[in-house]
Amino acid sequence: MKLFVGLGNPGAQYAFNRHNVGFMALDAIADAHDFPAWRKRFTGFVSEGRLGGEQVLLLKPQTYMNESGRSAAEAMRFYKLDEKDVIVFHDELDLAPGKVRVKTGGGVAGHNGLKSLSAHLGNDYMRVRIGIGHPGHRERVVGYVLHDFAKADSDWLEGLLGAMAEAAPHLADGANDKFQTQVAYLMQGEEPETKKAKPAKTQDKPPAPAPAKEEKQVQEGALAAKLRRWFDS
Q: Does residue 9 contact residue 65 with C-beta atoms inside 8 Å?
A: yes
120 is annotated as an active-site residue:
no
Distance CA 16, CA 130 (A): 14
The single-letter code of the amino acid at 61 is P
Sheet holding 86-92, edge to edge: 39-41, 44-51, 54-61, 2-6, 86-92, 126-131, 100-104
Distance CA 85, CA 114 (A): 16
The single-letter code of the amino acid at 113 is G
- In 10 A of CB 11, how many CB atoms? 11
Nearest residue to 4 via CA among 179, 133, 227, 221 = 179
Distance CA 96, CA 134 (A): 8
Find the catalytic residue in 19, 33, 90, 170: 19
User: Rounded to whole angstroms, what are the CA distances from 64 to 6, 43, 47?
Assistant: 12, 10, 19
Tell me the catalytic residues.
19
